[in-house]
Amino acid sequence: MISYRPFWKTLEASSETTYTLISKYHISSSTIDRLRKGYGISTAKINDLCKILHCKVEDIIEYVED
């Protein structure tokens, strides 16, 4: 199972917020909602988040065995 727990830690450590992701970087609120609920997002969105937060993929997602 893919977990977005690292994303929330990375976001908290950055100077960005969910509000700035939506308003400044045009990440949709539905993408933020999908992250909150643990639903899948595209690799393009993961790429965008890595660019915005200046981080690696593993700072956004992690694989957790069921």
**Tens digit of each residue's pLDDT (9 = 90 or more) over 27-60:** 999 999 999 999 999 999 999 999 999 999 999 9
Are the beta carbons of 9 and 19 closer than 8 angstroms?
Answer: no
Predicted confidence at residue 66, as pLDDT, reads 83
Average pLDDT over residues 21-31: 97
- Report d(CA 11, CA 13) in Å as an integer: 5
Predicted confidence at residue 49, as pLDDT, reads 98
CB atoms under 10 Å from CB of 36, counted, come to: 12
Predicted confidence at residue 20, as pLDDT, reads 97
Report field, pTM of the whole predicted structure over 0.85 = yes
Question: Which residues are within 8 A (CB) of 13 and not within 5 positions of it... i.e. 6 or more apart?
Answer: none
Buried b (16+ CB within 10 A) or exposed e, 48-65: bbbebbebeeebbbeeee
